[in-house]
Amino acid sequence: MADRREMWKELGMDVDTHDGLCAALPVAFGDVYLSQKNRPEGMAFWDFVVSDIHGIRPAELLEAQKEGRKVFGTFCVFVPDEIVVAANGIVTGLCGGSQFWVPDGEKVLPKSTCPLVKASVGARLGRTCPFFRIADMYVGETTCDGKKKAYEILGEDVPMYIMDLPQMKRECDMLKWKDEIVAFAKKVEEFTGNTITPEKLDEAIRLINNKRKALARVFEARKNPDNIPISGTDALLVTQIAFFDDPARCAEMCNKLADELEERNRQGVSVFEKGTKRIMITGTPMAIPNWKLHHIVETSGAAVVCEEMCTGTRYFENLVEEGLGTLDEQYMALSKRYMKNNCACFTPNPGRVEDILRLAKEYHVDGVIDVNLKFCCLYDTEGYSVERALKEAGIPVLGIETDYDDGDSEQLRTRIGAFVEMLG
Ligand code: BJ8
């Protein structure tokens, strides 16, 4: 691995503290990932990315900045990447998934804030993540209260733009979200100095759609009821990295992986023994390097075959209409696609329960784990309707709440082990 310390210093990072993360990550990755058996060969790409996760992509982003391109950091799948790409900008995900960043977040946020928010703020204020240093502008959104208030704090430190997401899905909300996309496009044009034309936006729509289609192919291979060609732990990593990678490369690598998974399905090459129970995980997103739950499930006799979460199906399902001739039509098409995302911040939100029941069938799941990040009131509350609907449909469900800390791992292992045994 190249020595990245100079680059991190120039980014104003606290390099000494960051060394602690650099020392812990390979161990965690080795324990969770490299200990798996019979992984697809294509995962070598993602292993390589993680081996230098704060080096390779940050260096690429810095090169792009030297060429005058702007980097936009986002925290939610509602922010339309297409707008940024059409203005020759680059998008990088910023959600924090490590306990390492939580204490710095707790210096300014209440402890009773969700770990994703605390880690994201801590990564910026503690100066221990290059992506948070590189982004020229952060783009937030009005989804949950924790994020909204955290954006005010982050906004004191870095240029911050907030998109006002409607919380219902009426016709007027679609129009309102379209207006928000138009306003965001104007801001992006000003910030990058580049004009968004219908041609450039159509190109961007196709690029991001291709990434979605490639991710969908990887997930499609996981639907095979008789074979599990990739572990859920690996599939989660693929989705997590998709938030950071160049979209064209992401599509290319996912398509290659999907080719291999389809071949594995044809040949009956499985990561797990025949009869291994198939689990779907639903709930709050799992930002990198949050691999805790998947690792516990997959070392407790079951396999994760689907994630109904923003680091899962919500990220790639539904495409934006391509080939539209005017910006007005394209902005509306973007609004329609993004408003199909069934985040728990909407009320009412029956679409999410419908998605979960549909996905449970499509992926032939034996049971569902409904996971909530501690202090996420939205998904915690929605868990009531989700779990009731699953029980009514006769699908076993286990509701759990956790955070990034490993303190509850043994307790989770006991509960998940018992759940898997019950499925048997
Ligand atoms: S579209 S799920 S990425 S808001 S930060 S809501 S866990 S308390 S992340 Fe999300 Fe967009 Fe919705 Fe998806 Fe809860 Fe934590 Fe808030 Fe969170």
- The answer, yes or no, to whether any atom of ligand 1 lies below 6 A from the CB of 144, is yes
Please state the separation of Cα 302 from the chain's center in Å. Answer: 22
Q: How far apart, in whole angstroms, are the C-alpha atoms of residue 404 and residue 409? A: 10
- The answer, yes or no, to whether any atom of ligand 1 lies below 6 A from the CB of 109, is no
146: CA distance to ligand 1 center in Å?
9
pLDDT reading at 357 higher than 70: yes
pLDDT tens digit sequence for 184-219: 999 999 999 999 999 999 999 999 999 999 999 999
pLDDT at 57: 98
Atom index in ligand 1 nearest the CA of residue 341 equals 1
Which pLDDT band, with edges at 50, 70 and 90, does 424 fall under? Answer: confident
Helix spans in 222-326 (H)? 232-242, 247-267, 292-298, 313-316
Q: How far apart, in whole angstroms, are the C-alpha atoms of residue 378 and residue 372? A: 9
Here the tokens at position 401 are 């709440």
Nearest alpha carbon to residue 258 among 282, 291, 222, 224 = 222
284: CA distance to ligand 1 center in Å?
6
Computed from CA positions of residues 9, 11, 14, 19, in that sequence, does the dihedral angle turn out positive or negative? Answer: negative
pLDDT tens digit sequence for 128-145: 999 999 999 999 999 999
Q: How far apart, in whole angstroms, are the C-alpha atoms of residue 128 and residue 13? A: 6
Atom index in ligand 1 nearest the CA of residue 310 equals 13
Q: What share of the chain is helix, strand, coil (3-state, %, to 5)?
A: 55, 10, 35
Average pLDDT over every residue of 81-90: 98
DSSP annotation of 288: T
pLDDT at 254: 98
Written as one string, the DSSP assignment of 257-281 is HHHHHHHHHHHT--SS-TTPEEEEE
Here the tokens at position 412 are 């989770």
pLDDT at 329: 98
Name 283's Cβ contacts closer than 8 Å, sequence gap at least 6: 308, 309, 370, 371, 372, 373, 379, 383
Written as one string, the DSSP assignment of 25-91 is HHHHHIIIIIT-SS--TTHHHHHHHHHTTTTHHHHHHHHHHHTT--EEEESSTTS-HHHHHHTT-EE
- The answer, yes or no, to whether any atom of ligand 1 lies below 6 A from the CB of 378, is yes
Average pLDDT over every residue of 57-62: 98
Q: How many CA atoms lie within 13 A of 360 on its CB side?
A: 23
59: CA distance to ligand 1 center in Å?
28
Sheet with 71-74, edge to edge strand ranges: 90-93, 71-74, 137-141, 160-163
Q: How far apart, in whole angstroms, are the C-alpha atoms of residue 348 and residue 381? A: 12
Average pLDDT over every residue of 173-191: 98
Written as one string, the DSSP assignment of 171-189 is HHHHHHHHHHHHHHHHHHH
Single pTM value for the model: 0.97
Here the tokens at position 312 are 């899962």
Q: How far apart, in whole angstroms, are the C-alpha atoms of residue 124 and residue 147? A: 14
Q: How far apart, in whole angstroms, are the C-alpha atoms of residue 95 and residue 210? A: 23
pLDDT at 13: 98
Which pLDDT band, with edges at 50, 70 and 90, does 1 fall under? Answer: low
Mutate to test the pocket of ligand 1, among 91, 308, 310 (most ligand atoms within 8 A of CB): 310
pLDDT at 2: 65
pLDDT tens digit sequence for 284-343: 999 999 999 999 999 999 999 999 999 999 999 999 999 999 999 999 999 999 999 999
pLDDT tens digit sequence for 65-85: 999 999 999 999 999 999 999
Whether the Cβ atoms of residue 149 and residue 383 lie closer than 8 Å to each other: no
Nearest alpha carbon to residue 309 among 387, 373, 381, 231 = 373
- The answer, yes or no, to whether any atom of ligand 1 lies below 6 A from the CB of 341, is yes
The whole-chain average pLDDT of the chain stands at 97
76: CA distance to ligand 1 center in Å?
7
Q: Cβ–Cβ contacts within 10 Å for residue 174, how many?
A: 15
pLDDT reading at 62 higher than 90: yes
pLDDT tens digit sequence for 11-53: 999 999 999 999 999 999 999 999 999 999 999 999 999 999 9
Query: E strand or H helix at 160, and its extent?
Result: strand 160-163
- The answer, yes or no, to whether any atom of ligand 1 lies below 6 A from the CB of 74, is no
pLDDT reading at 381 higher than 70: yes
- The answer, yes or no, to whether any atom of ligand 1 lies below 6 A from the CB of 114, is yes
Mutate to test the pocket of ligand 1, among 95, 165, 370, 376 (most ligand atoms within 8 A of CB): 376
94: CA distance to ligand 1 center in Å?
13
pLDDT reading at 356 higher than 80: yes
3: CA distance to ligand 1 center in Å?
34
